[in-house]
Structure 1
Amino acid sequence: MDNVALQTSLKKFPREARAEILDLSAPEIWLRDLRDNINFAFQPIVNIHTGACYGVEALLRGYEDLGFDKIPDVFDYAHHNGMLHKTEITLKEMSISKFAKLEMDHFVRLFLNIDNRVLDSADYRPGQTGRLLRKYGLSLRSICLEISERHEVSSGGNTSKVLEQYSERPYKLALDDFGTGYAGLKVLYDYHPDFIKIDRYFINDIHIDEKKKIFLSNIVSLAHVLGITVVAEGVETEHEFLTCKEIGCDLLQGYFVQKPTLDLNKLNSSYHQISALNSRDRRAVGDDRKIIDEQIENIPALKFNTPMYEVFDIFRMNKHLTFFPVIDENKEPLGLVCENDLKYYTYSMYGKELILNKAYSKTLMDFVSNCPVADIRMGAEKIIEIFSLSKNPDGIIISDSFRYVGFLSASSLLRVINEKNLTYARDQNPLSKLPGNNVISDYVAQTLKNLDRSMTMIYFDFDNFKPF
C-alpha cells in the first residue's frame, strides 16, 4: 500500500481499526512502521535539592499514526501477535541512538521503560541491551531499565531469573508506577531496585492530603534504609514539589520541571527554577549541613572495578579500618566492602589464592553489602532516622548530588545529635523556650544574599507576650 492510499484509508476508518489496515501482523512490516512513525520525547529527572539534571526518561511518541490510542496499546498488540521481544529491541535501539546524541556538561542516565512481559517471552535473549550500548559508545551504567507494575511480575519462570541477571549487571533498575500496580512491596523485597518511582496518584495534591503524606513518608524511609533512591513522578505544582522535598524524595520529574520534548536542544544540564525555589524555601533555612560537614569521616572509597589483590593490600595498609565504601565510575556509592566478609578467604589455607584466581571470577562487587545513603542536605533528624531503622551498625554513607563525600559512623551521629541539641539550646529564648534572635538574624542574613530580587520584611513584636 503506497503512502497516498494509506493516508486515505486512515481517514476513512476509526482509530481502533487502523492497525488492521496497516497489516501490522507481518513482523517485517510492523518493525518498519515502528521505525518510520515512532519517535522519542525525553523528560528530565532532576536532583530535588539542586535542580541538576540526573537523567532523562524516554517516552514513546507517534503511536497515534499506527492506529493506537495509548502507549500501552502498542505493546499489548505486539504481545498478542508474538512480536513483543522484537518490538522492545527495535524501540530500545531507537531511544539509545537518540540519547547518544544528547550533549550535557555532566553524566546523565537514560531511563528506559521495558514491558516486563518480555522477560517471559520464549524468544527472549539477554545481552541485547549491552550490545546496543556498546554500539553507540555508551557505558553500561548509563542506562536505567524501568519495570512497570502494570503487568504482574511472575515469581517463577524466566522473569525472576532475568531480573536477577539484571541486578547482577551494571545497569540500574527502577520500579515504575510504584504503589498502583501488582505486588509492589514483594518486587521491592525480591529484586531490590536502585530506584522507585512514586506514581502520580500519590503525588497529586499531596500537600493537602494527610494520608498521602503518611504513605509517601513511610515509603521514602523504607527505601532509604534499603539504599534505594526515590523519584517523585508527575510533580506539577510548587506545593507538590515542596512537600515531596520535605518528605525526603531524592529526584523530581514532571511538568513542574519540564514537559517531555522531542528536541534534545531544549533539555538543560540544570533547572535553575528548582535551585531558586530551594533558596527561597523558608523551611530550608538553618539546615544542618555545617554540623554534618564537621562530623563526616573522609574514609577513602574503592572503585567498583578495583582488583581483589589491591583490595587486600588496602585493608592491610589501613588496619584501623574495617570497611570501605565502594563507588561506581561516577562516584555514586554502591555500598560497603567489609573486612568480615573477606575473612573466610583471608584466613583459609588457599582462600586468598582462590579469590585471586581469574578462573574463580570473584570480583569486588561480589562482596559489596548494602548500606543506607543520605544526602548531605537532609536534616540531621532525617539522617539519624534512616540510620536508626537500618541494621548496618557501621553507619551511613553521605552523598552530595549522589556523589560520595564521606561517612558518618555511629559515634559521629551521636556527636551530630549533641551538637544539634546545643544549637537548639543556644537559639532558644530562656523564658519562652521559642527560637530567639539568632534564628531571626540567620534568616535575614540568608535572605539578603539573594540580591537578584526585591523583598519586603515585616517584623512583629507582641506586647505582653510573657506572663511576667
Structure 2
Amino acid sequence: MNHDIDSLTQAWRSHRNSHLFLANARAHLDIALQPFVDSHTGEVQGLGAHLRGAEKLGFEAPHLAHEFAVETGCLTEFVTLLRARAIARFARIAEARSLLLLLPVSRHILDLDGALLKETRNLAAKHKLAPEAICLEPPAANGLIRQDRIDRFVMTARGFGFSHAHDGLESIGTPLQTLYEQGPRLLKLGRSFFAGLHGDARRMRFAASLVDLAHALGGRVLAQNVETEADLRACREMGCDLVQGALIAEPTLDLQTLRRCYDTIGAAALRHGEAPGADPDFLMQEMEVLPSIRTGASISRALEIFRTNARQTVLPVLDPLDHPAGLILEPDLKSLLYTSYGRDLLLNPTIDNHLRRFIRHCAVADIHTPLETLVEISSSARSEGIVITRSGRYAGYLPTNALLKLSNEARLRNAQDQNPLTKLPGNAAIFDHIGKAARQSDVDRAFCYVDFDNFKPFNDTYGFRLGDRALMLFAEISRRKLQNLSAFIGHVGGDDFFLGLAGIPIEELEEVMRGLRRDFRHEAESLHEASHRRQGFILARDRKGQPQRYPLLSCSIAVLFLPRRVRVNDPDTLSTHIAVLKSRAKATQDGVSVCHLGPDNDINSANHER
C-alpha cells in the first residue's frame, strides 16, 4: 500500500494534472476537527473542519490546493472529496446528531450551481445527518468577492436546508438588512477584534453592543482563535455565546482526544473570580416553556398546537438540533385561515404550504445573559419576545410582559445599591467588584480609595447643600476623567469614594490619580466664597470647639496596586493595607499614596503565581 502511494506521489510530481491531483488528494489529504464550545459551560456545540496534508502535495497552504483545482477544472470533484471525508469523520462522533459541523466555502465555490449542495445533502443523509447539522462558512465580502455572490450562495444553500455562518461580524461591509434577511446561524468574530479588549472600556462597550445586535438578529456569536484566558474573559464580557481556539483545543485528526465538555471554561472562570449570577434562576421563574414545533412539520400540526393550547399565541420553531429557527405567530396563520378557502389552501397537501413561509425572525439569548442585556436586546429587536436557550438549545420563551418585568427588575437592582445623590454604585457593588478583581490575576489591577480633606469644616461653613454639590462634583469629574478607561466608580458613602481600574501601568495610574485630584481641587474652589479663595483657607471650629484654619476643599487618594500574577483570595485582607495608605496619602504633599503589592510584600491569603 505504501509503495502504491509513493508511486502515486512520484507520478504527481512529474505530471501535475487533474487526474493525479485527485488521486493524491484521496491518498494524502485529511480533515482535522476543532471543537467550539459554550462560553459559559464548556459544552461542545460543534466542530469546524480544517484541511490537513496539503504540503504533501507540494502546496504551502490549503487554499493553493483549491486554486489548482480551479485551474485544472476539477473543483467540484475536489470539494466533494473533502466534504465526504469531513462528514464521514464527523459522523463517527457519538454525539454528532446533536452537534453542528462547520464546512468552509472558498470563494471559487460560490458560483457553482446547486449540484454541489445537492451532493453535500446526499452525503449528510448517507450518514443519517440532517441538512441543518451542516453550517457552511462562505468568505466575507472583499475586493475579490462581491456581496451579491455571497447572497445568492446563501439563499441557494438555505433552499437545501443548510444554515450558514457570517464571517466578520466586526466588519461593516454587510448591510444590516442583508444580515436580517439571511438569518445566519452563527456570526463569527476574529481574534483581532477581541485581543486586548479587556481593560479598554470604550472598545468593550462597542463590542458588547455588536454582540447584542447579533442576538437581536437571532444569531449566536462565535469568537475564533481564543488563545489566552484574557481572550476568554473578554469574549465572556462581550457576551459571545461560543468560543474556539487553542485555549480549548487545537484541530485534531484523533477523534479519541475530543471531549464532550471542556473544563477549561469553568476552571478559568473560577481562577478569575467569575461566578454564575442569580439571573438564570430568575429567568427560569419568568420564562414560559411553550410547546414547540420542528421546521419540517406541517401547518396542520401548528394549528393543532394552537388549538390545544388556547392561551398560546406564539409557537417557537426548532431545527433538528433543537436550535431556535424563529417564531410562528397565531395571527399570521389565522389571517390566511379565515379568508375564503383559506383553511383548504393551508391544509391541501398538493400545495406548497411549507411551515417556513410563516417563520419570523426572533431575538435569541442564552439563559446566562444579564438582565440588563436582555432588556437592551428586547428594545433593539422590537419582537414579540425573546427565545431563551441553554447551550444553544431551546429552553423557553420570554414574552413581552415578562420583558417589562425584567426591565423593572434591572432598574430595581440598580436603584437598591445606588447612591441616591451621585447615582453611583454603592457598597454591595463595590465589594463585588473588589472580590472579583482581587482574583483576576491575568491583568494589573488598582483599588483606589478617595477621601475628601477638610469636608466637615466645609459642611459646617457652607451647609449640607453645598456639601452635596461637592460630592456630585467629584462624581462628575471622575466619570469625565475615567470614561475611556476600564474604571469602576463607586460611592462608599459620605465623602468616601472607590475607583477600580484594570490594565493600566502603575506609572500611568499615578499620573491619572494626581490629575483627578488636581482637577477636583481646582473645580471645588468655585464652591468657596471669593474671600476664602483669596486667602486660601476657611475658619471653622474643630471637634473641641476651637477655631482653626482649614485649607480649601481637596481629596486624598490611596492606591493599592495588584500586578499580574498576584491573586488575593480573601479581599478582606486588603483593608489593612488600605487603612495605612489612607493615612499616608493625607500626609503626602500631592495627596496620593501608592502601594505596589507584589511578591516582596507580605499579605495573608495572597498567591503569587509564577
Q: TM-score, normalised by structure 2?
A: 0.66
Cα distance in 2 for residues equivalent to 1:421 and 1:123 = 51
**Correspondence 1:420 to 2:533:** no
Cα distance in 2 for residues equivalent to 1:312 and 1:106 = 28
User: Counterpart of 2:20?
Assistant: 29
Write the mapping of 1:209-228 to structure 2, written as runs, cut at 5 A: 213=204, 215-228=206-219
Cα distance in 2 for residues equivalent to 1:455 and 1:209 = 23
Change (3 A) 1:246 1:148: same
Pairing partner for 1:241 from 232, 235, 246: 232
**Correspondence 1:47 to 2:38:** yes
Write the mapping of 1:118-197 to structure 2, written as runs, cut at 5 A: 118-121=109-112, 124-149=115-140, 152-154=144-146, 160-179=151-170, 183=174, 188=179, 191-197=182-188
User: Counterpart of 2:571?
Assistant: 458
Write the mapping of 1:26-425 to structure 2, written as runs, cut at 5 A: 26=18, 28-104=19-95, 107-121=98-112, 124-149=115-140, 152-154=144-146, 160-179=151-170, 183=174, 188=179, 191-208=182-199, 213=204, 215-284=206-275, 286-392=277-383, 394-425=384-415
Q: Is the 8 Å Cα contact of residues 288 and 377 (structure 1) preserved in structure 2?
A: yes
Cα distance in 2 for residues equivalent to 1:24 and 1:181 = 41
SS for the counterpart of 2:350 is helix
Q: Is the 8 Å Cα contact of residues 372 and 410 (structure 2) preserved in structure 1?
A: no
Cα distance in 1 for residues equivalent to 2:172 and 2:276 = 38
Change (3 A) 1:295 1:349: same
Cα distance in 2 for residues equivalent to 1:53 and 1:401 = 9
Q: Is the 8 Å Cα contact of residues 90 and 96 (structure 2) preserved in structure 1?
A: no
Shift of 1:427: 4.8
SS for the counterpart of 2:297 is coil
The code of the aligned residue for 2:391 comes to S
Cα distance in 2 for residues equivalent to 1:417 and 1:396 = 13
SS for the counterpart of 2:312 is coil
- Does 219-228 or 306-315 show the bigger shift? 306-315
Q: Is the 8 Å Cα contact of residues 236 and 254 (structure 1) preserved in structure 2?
A: yes
Q: Is the 8 Å Cα contact of residues 153 and 182 (structure 1) preserved in structure 2?
A: no
Cα distance in 1 for residues equivalent to 2:201 and 2:372 = 21
SS for the counterpart of 1:89 is helix
- Does 33-42 or 322-331 show the bigger shift? 322-331
Shift of 1:279: 4.0
Q: Is the 8 Å Cα contact of residues 80 and 119 (structure 2) preserved in structure 1?
A: yes
- Does 180-189 or 48-57 show the bigger shift? 180-189
Cα distance in 2 for residues equivalent to 1:22 and 1:176 = 38
SS for the counterpart of 1:326 is strand
Bigger RCO (CA 8 Å, 6+ sep) = 1
Shift of 1:75: 1.1
Cα distance in 2 for residues equivalent to 1:411 and 1:282 = 34
Superposed CA deviations along residues 114-141 of structure 1, whole A, max 9, x for unmatched, are: 2242231369544111110112222222
Shift of 1:248: 0.8
Cα distance in 1 for residues equivalent to 2:194 and 2:414 = 33
Cα distance in 2 for residues equivalent to 1:53 and 1:60 = 21
Shift of 1:456: 3.6
SS for the counterpart of 2:198 is helix
Shift of 1:24: 3.2
Cα distance in 1 for residues equivalent to 2:6 and 2:32 = 27
Identical amino acids, percent of aligned pairs: 31
Shift of 1:297: 2.4
Q: Is the 8 Å Cα contact of residues 291 and 420 (structure 1) preserved in structure 2?
A: no
Change (3 A) 1:177 1:125: same
Change (3 A) 1:409 1:7: closer
Superposed CA deviations along residues 339-380 of structure 1, whole A, max 9, x for unmatched, are: 222133211121111111111121222211001011110100
Cα distance in 2 for residues equivalent to 1:308 and 1:137 = 25
Change (3 A) 1:85 1:212: farther
Cα distance in 2 for residues equivalent to 1:68 and 1:186 = 39
Cα distance in 1 for residues equivalent to 2:5 and 2:96 = 42
Cα distance in 2 for residues equivalent to 1:223 and 1:304 = 22
Q: Is the 8 Å Cα contact of residues 140 and 171 (structure 1) preserved in structure 2?
A: yes
Shift of 1:404: 1.6
- Does 288-297 or 176-185 show the bigger shift? 176-185
The code of the aligned residue for 1:55 comes to G
The code of the aligned residue for 2:571 comes to I
SS for the counterpart of 2:386 is strand
Q: Is the 8 Å Cα contact of residues 116 and 147 (structure 1) preserved in structure 2?
A: yes
Change (3 A) 1:81 1:299: same
SS for the counterpart of 1:206 is coil
Change (3 A) 1:438 1:212: closer
Shift of 1:205: 2.6
Shift of 1:178: 4.5
The code of the aligned residue for 2:111 comes to D
Q: Which is higher, the Rg of structure 1 or of structure 2?
A: 2
Change (3 A) 1:439 1:318: farther
Q: Is the 8 Å Cα contact of residues 225 and 390 (structure 1) preserved in structure 2?
A: yes
The code of the aligned residue for 1:415 comes to K
User: Counterpart of 1:16?
Assistant: none
Cα distance in 1 for residues equivalent to 2:96 and 2:49 = 19
Q: Is the 8 Å Cα contact of residues 85 and 123 (structure 1) preserved in structure 2?
A: no
Cα distance in 2 for residues equivalent to 1:311 and 1:354 = 15
SS for the counterpart of 2:138 is strand
Cα distance in 2 for residues equivalent to 1:109 and 1:215 = 29
Change (3 A) 1:45 1:22: farther
User: Counterpart of 1:450?
Assistant: none
Change (3 A) 1:65 1:311: same
Superposed CA deviations along residues 38-97 of structure 1, whole A, max 9, x for unmatched, are: 011111100001000001111011000111111111112212222222211111001111
User: Counterpart of 2:523?
Assistant: none
What residue ranges of structure 2 are gaps of 5+ in the alignment?
439-566, 584-610
